[in-house]
Amino acid sequence: MKTTTRIQKWGNSLAVRLPRGLADSRNLQEGSEVSLSSKGQEIVMKSLANEETLKGMVSMISKDNLHKEFRWGDHKGKELW
């Protein structure tokens, strides 16, 4: 999705307002964390939601809910397990 917006003053900083359609397409909402970087003439904004979601899910793994090992069949190559 490509769109155009304007940079506006927000206190002593500058802000970019994201159109609702773009925010919705990336599941961004007020309070969503993003990383910003510059690459040549571009400013790149990436959502941190997926990283946080995976980190949160992994942190909930315990001995009580850990899945048992699954047997996928005979070895077919040089697997190390």
| Predicted confidence (pLDDT) per residue in 30-67, tens digit | 999 999 999 999 999 998 876 667 877 888 899 999 98
Asked if pLDDT for residue 8 goes beyond 80, the answer is yes
What does DSSP assign to residue 77? S
Give the C-alpha separation, 41 to 15, whole Å. 18
Average pLDDT, the chain: 88
What does DSSP assign to residue 40? T
Domain ranges across the chain: 7-57
Cβ pair 49, 33 in contact under 8 A: yes
Q: For residue 18, how many other CB atoms are within 10 A of its CB?
A: 16
Q: Where are the beta strands (DSSP E) in the chain?
A: 7-10, 13-16, 34-39, 42-47
Query: Which fold, 7-57?
Result: Pemi-like Protein 1; Chain: D (2.10.260)
The pLDDT score that the predictor gives to residue 51 is: 67
Share of the chain above pLDDT 70, in %: 95
Is the pTM for the entire model greater than 0.85?
no
